Amino acid sequence: MKILFKKSSIVLALFVLVSSFSCAKKGPVDIVLLHTNDHHGSIESRDDLGGLAQRLTFVKQVRAENENVLLVDAGDINTGSPVSNMFSAEPDIEAYNLLGYDCGTFGNHEFDKPLATLDQQMKTAKFPFVSANILRDGAPLGGQAYIVKEYNKVKVGIFGLTTLRSLVVANPDKSLTFNNEIESAKAVVKTLQNKEKCDIIICLAHLGDVVETQDPQVTSHQLATEVAGINIIVDGHSHTEMAEPVVIGDTYIVSAHEWGKKVGKGLINYTDGKVSFSWEAVSITAEAYEPDSEMEALLTPYLEKATAALDNVIGQAAGEFEFGKKLTRYKEMPIGNMVCDGVMWYMNEVAKVPCDFTFCNGGSIRAPLAAGDILVRDVATVIPFDNILYLLTLKGTDVIALFDFIGTVNQGAGAFPQVSKEVRYTLTYDENGQNGSISNITINGQPIDPNKSYKVLANDYVYAGGDGYVMLGNATEIFNTSLTLKDVIQEYISAMGTITPATDGRIEVIGGTQP
């Protein structure tokens, strides 16, 4: 019997054979994934960790040792150090260009300043910002929802997501539309799978893994649970320090802490349609990574201008803001009032985020402020710590617990608070400034309502339970403003022009002692 084949059948069979052969030969490929998040203007190292010049040394080493390297950022490049703030993150973006970032996404702090500032940053950047859920005029902010990179025929799709919490904790321009993170992710994953034929899908998710609010909030864990097809989530927003990836289903979640202290380093292997992943967070230490001279040359002009700015006059003190022998740990002080009222001014007038009151531990204020010209460096002397401000939502019962604790703090302790003008109370002590009690507490003229929620601003030290303020850990909503107390007070003084030392009886002390 003679078997006849149609020509079209032979061609089809050969195509199928070639296609199968090509798929079988796809890979193995190794790709090194380097990632950062929550940079927050950390141009220089902090406590011998991080620093952009040190980061470049590390990245160059990795590139020298590996053929395929992908470098990405999960958002919040903005808002942090005075140098970065002074130049609207221009040195940071230029440094990211030099580092050779492949792409980044938007964090909520990218919307701290007017949209024109972000537009300038995107114009300066030689890498794309990708966003699948923020739109301007119907198109992805930054122009792209995703990018596709190809490594030896293996296609990697990278897309970005930004938390809808940005609408609450930042001030995005009204022209922007923020879409649901889950639905946006499902749509872009479908596109990357079906249209782009990607073999590996990575999400740059500025979502975080900490639930900050009782309102609906999408975390990276929820994203991994509800959206199939994402191989790796590079997370940001919650500043999470991970020792190993979190694995949910077939998705790996990684995050590289904060401020460039660490760079995430993952090895992706693609073989025969299967993806494997190993990961570590590499500490960028001064000992291990010498500053790169090329980066130092880029950053030095900015740093020199910022240093010169320390001697700039930002305002006037109408009189001396006394400090004495650590008097902020004993009673209401003009300098404590100025600091706390300055924070409230900033949040209400600049950030446009209403809050009920703020307080700071007296130990966070370390020097007087002389009458006359106020220099930038004077503020840094009064407030020497780089404490970050947190906006916390506390139940009324926890606010009561807060003030009950304040009543137990002995005079002279660093925990003794200074408070904003919205607060009034009386402290009663024995002759040694001990065995205290608190009474007559009001907030905005009213007793504390145990059934109400209060917005409270506190520094990161006391929020973490420092000086015994453990009740702050019960906050039902948590927002890291990434603003330092020092920078906020500098802006306050600059805006006021002249500040006058005064007390108004917000803290009444009965009995007690003086140093």
Q: Are residues 233 and 320 in the same domain?
A: no
Task: For 48-92, give the secondary structure using H, E and C.
Answer: CECCHHHHHHHHHHHHHHCCCEEEEECCCCCCCCHHHHHCCCHHH
Domain shared by 251 and 400, yes or no: no
SS3 content of the chain, % helix, strand, coil (to 5): 35, 30, 40
116 lies in some domain:
yes
Helix (H), strand (E) at residue 161: strand 154-162
CB-CB contact of 469 with 462 (8 Å): yes
User: What is the layout of strands, in order, in the sheet containing 372-375?
Assistant: 372-375, 313-317, 498-499
Q: 337 with 348: CB under 8 angstroms? A: no
With H, G, I as helix, E, B as strand and everything else as coil, classify residue 345. Answer: helix
- Express each pLDDT in 361-389 by its tens digit: 998 898 899 999 999 989 988 987 778 99
Band of the pLDDT at 509, cuts 50, 70, 90?
A: very high
Are both 283 and 418 inside the same structural domain?
no
Q: Any idea what the CATH number is for the domain that residue 434 is in?
A: 3.90.780.10
Angstrom distance (rounded) from CA 343 to CA 485:
7
Note whether residue 354 is domain-resident: yes
pLDDT score, position 146: 98
Per-residue pLDDT reduced to its tens digit, 280-337: 999 999 999 999 999 999 999 999 988 888 788 999 999 999 999 889 999 999 999 9
Check residues 241 and 5 and name the one with the higher pLDDT.
241
Q: Give the count of domains, the chain.
A: 2
Q: Based on the domain organization, do 387 and 284 belong to the same domain? A: no
Question: Does residue 100 share a domain with residue 178?
Answer: yes
pLDDT at position 79, please?
Answer: 82
Confirm whether 2 is domain-assigned: no
In this structure, is residue 56 part of a structural domain? yes
d(CA 435, CA 449): 26
CA dist., res. 82 & res. 90, Å (int): 12
Whether residue 187 is found in the same domain as residue 225: yes
CATH of the domain at 145: 3.60.21.10
- Determine which of 28-32, 145-149, 168-172, 396-400 has the lowest per-residue pLDDT on average: 168-172
Tokens of 456: 């409270």
Residue 471 · residue 405 · CB < 8 Å = yes
Residue after which a domain boundary falls, among 305, 335, 356 = 305
Note whether 41 and 78 are same-domain residues: yes
Closest CA to 484 of 327, 346, 330: 346
Beta-bridged to residue 321, according to DSSP, are: 369
Whether 298 and 356 map to the same domain: the answer is: no
Mean pLDDT of 246-253: 98
The answer to whether residue 6 sits within a structural domain is no
Q: In what order do the strands lie in the sheet with 262-271?
A: 103-104, 69-73, 29-36, 262-271, 274-283
Domain membership of residue 18 (yes or no) is: no
Average pLDDT, the chain: 91
Residue 6: the pLDDT is 40
pLDDT above 80 for 26:
no
Span 141-174, pLDDT tens digits: 999 999 999 999 999 999 999 999 888 767 789 9
Same domain, 496 and 457: yes
Return the closest-CA partner of residue 466 out of 335, 392, 363, 338: 363
Assigned domain for 20 exists: no
The verdict on 301 and 316 lying in the same domain is: no
213 band by pLDDT with thresholds 50, 70 and 90 = low
| Better-scored residue on pLDDT, 366 or 181 | 181
- Does residue 93 share a domain with residue 202? yes
- What is the Cα–Cα distance from 163 to 452, expressed in whole angstroms? 27
Q: Which pLDDT value is given to residue 47?
A: 75
Q: How far apart are CA 150 and CA 198, in angstroms?
A: 9
Q: pLDDT-derived band of residue 15, with 50, 70 and 90 as boundaries?
A: very low
Q: Supply the range of the domain harboring residue 63.
A: 26-305
